[in-house]
Structure 1
Amino acid sequence: MGDPILILSSFVCFCLLLVLFRFLDRFWWTPVYIQYRLGSQGIKGPSYKFIHGNTKEMLKMVLPHVYTWMNNYGKNHLSWRGGEPQLLITEPELIKEVLNNRDGLYLKASLPFYFMKLMGNGLATSEGEQWVKHQKLINPAFQGENLEKMIPEMIVSVELMLQSWKKYQAKEIEVSEEFRLLATDIISRTAFGSNYLEGKTIFDMMTQYSNIIRRNIFKPRFPCLREEKVKLGDIDCYAYHDVDENKRILVQDLIDECKTFYIAGQETINSLLSWTVLLLAIHTDWQDKAREEVIELFGHQNPHPNDLSKLHTISRIINEALRLYPPTVAFISRSEREVRLGKFILPANIQLFISNLVVHRDPGIWGDDAHLFKPERFSGEVAKATSNNVAAYFPFGIGPRTCVGFNFATVGAKIVLIMILQRYRFTFSPTYVHSPVINFLLVPQHGIQVILHSLQSDEGPS
Structure 2
Amino acid sequence: MGLLLVITTLVFVFFLLTVLTVAWITFFTYYWTPMHIRRFMRRQGVHGPSPKFLVGNLKDSASMVSASIASDMDFISHDIVSRLMPHYVLWSKIYGMCARAEDSLCKKFIYWYGSEPRLCLTDTDMIKELLSSKYVQLTGKSWLQRQGSKNLIGDGLLMANGSNWFHQRHVVAPAFMADKLKSHVGYMVECTRQMIKSLVEDVGSGQSEVEIGAYMTRLTGDIISRTGFDSSYEKGKKIFQLLERLQSLTAQSSRYLWIPGSRYFPSKYRREIKQLKEQVDRVLMEIIDCRKEAAEFGRSSASGRGLLEMLLDEVQKKRDDGLSYSLKLVMDECKTFFFAGHETSALLLTWTIMLLATNPSWQEKARSEVAEVCGRLPPSAEDLPKLTSLHLIINESLRLYPPATLLPRMAFQDMKLGDLMIPKGLSIWIPVLAIHHDEDIWGKDANEFQPERFAGRSFSLTRHFLPFAAGPRNCVGQAYAMMEAKIVLAMFLSAFSFTISNNYRHAPINVLTLRPKHGVLVHLTPLDY
> Which residue identity does 2:55 align to in structure 1?
H
SS in 2 for 1:371: coil
Aligned to 2:186: 152
Consecutive unaligned residues in structure 2, runs of 5 or more: 70-83, 97-106, 257-268, 293-311, 318-323
> Which residue identity does 2:422 align to in structure 1?
L
The 5 Å alignment of 1:6-25 reads 16=19, 19-25=22-28
Aligned equivalent of 1:175, options 187, 212, 230:
212
Shift of 1:117: 3.8
Q: What is the alpha-carbon distance in structure 2 between the residues aligned to residue 141 and residue 368 of structure 1?
A: 41
> Which residue identity does 1:86 align to in structure 2?
R
Aligned to 2:72: none
Aligned to 1:455: 527
> Which residue identity does 1:183 align to in structure 2?
T
Aligned to 2:170: 136
Aligned equivalent of 2:94, options 49, 55, 72:
72
Aligned to 2:445: 369
CA spacing shift, 1:13–1:208, aligned 2, 3 Å: closer
Shift of 1:13: 6.3
Please give the per-residue CA displacement for 1:276-308, whole angstroms capped at 9, x wherever unaligned.
011111111111111111111122221121111
Aligned to 1:230: 278
Aligned equivalent of 1:247, options 316, 331, 355:
316
CA spacing shift, 1:239–1:305, aligned 2, 3 Å: closer
Deviates more, 1:434-443 or 1:284-293: 434-443
CA contact (8 A) 1:294 1:311 kept: yes
Aligned equivalent of 2:241, options 204, 207, 214:
207
Shift of 1:34: 2.2
Shift of 1:54: 1.5
> Which residue identity does 2:446 align to in structure 1?
A
- Aligned identity (percent) is 33
Aligned to 1:48: 51
Q: What is the alpha-carbon distance in structure 1 between the residues aligned to residue 288 and residue 108 of structure 2?
A: 47
Matched, 1:438 2:506: no
CA contact (8 A) 1:105 1:337 kept: yes
Q: What is the alpha-carbon distance in structure 2 between the residues aligned to residue 234 and residue 113 of structure 1?
A: 22
CA contact (8 A) 1:273 1:413 kept: yes
> Which residue identity does 2:395 align to in structure 1?
N
CA contact (8 A) 1:123 1:260 kept: yes
> Which residue identity does 1:364 align to in structure 2?
D
Q: What is the alpha-carbon distance in structure 2 between the residues aligned to residue 10 and residue 258 of structure 1?
A: 44
Consecutive unaligned residues in structure 1, runs of 5 or more: none
Aligned equivalent of 2:155, options 84, 99, 121:
121
> Which residue identity does 1:428 align to in structure 2?
I
> How much is the aligned-residue C-alpha RMSD, in angstroms?
2.8
Matched, 1:28 2:31: yes
Q: Using structure 1 for the length normalisation, give the TM-score.
A: 0.89
SS in 1 for 2:158: coil
Aligned to 1:415: 487
CA contact (8 A) 1:118 1:206 kept: no
Aligned to 2:130: 98
Matched, 1:337 2:406: no
Aligned to 1:187: 224
> Which residue identity does 1:122 align to in structure 2?
G
> Which residue identity does 2:85 align to in structure 1?
L
Q: What is the alpha-carbon distance in structure 1 between the residues aligned to residue 236 and residue 449 of structure 2?
A: 38
SS in 2 for 1:218: helix
Aligned to 1:314: 390
Q: What is the alpha-carbon distance in structure 2 between the residues aligned to residue 165 and residue 52 of structure 1?
A: 48
Shift of 1:113: 4.0
Deviates more, 1:172-181 or 1:61-70: 61-70
CA spacing shift, 1:321–1:10, aligned 2, 3 Å: closer
Shift of 1:200: 4.6
Shift of 1:11: 8.3
Aligned equivalent of 2:353, options 270, 273, 277:
277
CA contact (8 A) 1:93 1:391 kept: yes
SS in 2 for 1:118: coil
CA contact (8 A) 1:51 1:82 kept: yes
The aligned length equals 449
> Which residue identity does 1:266 align to in structure 2?
H
Q: What is the alpha-carbon distance in structure 2 between the residues aligned to residue 13 and residue 251 of structure 1?
A: 37
Q: Using structure 2 for the length normalisation, give the TM-score.
A: 0.78
Q: What is the alpha-carbon distance in structure 2 between the residues aligned to residue 251 and residue 34 of structure 1?
A: 37
Q: What is the alpha-carbon distance in structure 1 between the residues aligned to residue 176 and residue 189 of structure 2?
A: 17
Aligned equivalent of 2:463, options 370, 387, 391:
391
Aligned equivalent of 2:430, options 354, 358, 377:
354
CA spacing shift, 1:47–1:168, aligned 2, 3 Å: farther
Matched, 1:294 2:370: yes
Aligned to 2:295: none
Shift of 1:162: 0.9
Aligned to 2:142: 109
Q: What is the alpha-carbon distance in structure 1 between the residues aligned to residue 60 and residue 148 of structure 2?
A: 24
> Which residue identity does 2:225 align to in structure 1?
S
